[in-house]
Amino acid sequence: MKIAVASQKSEASLVGAQAGRSPYYLIYDEKKDLLESISNPFAVGGGGAGFGVAKMLADKGVDIIVAGKFGEKMEQAIAGRGTKHLEFDGSVDDALEAVLG
């Protein structure tokens, strides 16, 4: 299982407020090991961020996406790919605990 958490670049940061516009995604495995930190090319710019992020993370094999808020279009794009999502406010570490227990 892969979990993508919207955030700043650091593992010590808070979960990013908006899924489509978060500057980074930290990708973890089910053991809470950081696999990859990726810059979000859709963080700034025009429309379509939610769809772009959903595709980017699906291409990385992500099963669950965690962010502060998800827009309606991103929720639709995620659901269409079979990816789950969780709205969470707090630290990256606490978000992983919420997903993995």
- Tell me the per-residue pLDDT of 3-12, one tens digit each, with 9 for 90 and over: 999 999 889 9
* Cβ neighbours of residue 66 closer than 8 Å, sequence gap 6 or more: 3, 4, 5, 6, 15, 85, 86, 88, 95, 98, 99
Residue 80: its pLDDT value, please? 87
Flag whether the pTM goes above 0.85. Answer: yes
Q: Which fold has domain 2-100?
A: Nucleotidyltransferase; domain 5 (3.30.420)
Q: Which pLDDT score is estimated for 9?
A: 86
SS3 for 24? Answer: strand
- Reply yes or no on whether the pLDDT at 101 is more than 90: no
User: How far apart are the C-alpha atoms of 3 and 96, rounded to whole Å?
Assistant: 8
**Structural domain boundaries in the chain:** 2-100
Measured CA to CA, the distance from residue 93 to residue 43 in angstroms comes to 22
Answer for the pair 2, 32: CB distance below 8 angstroms, yes or no.
no
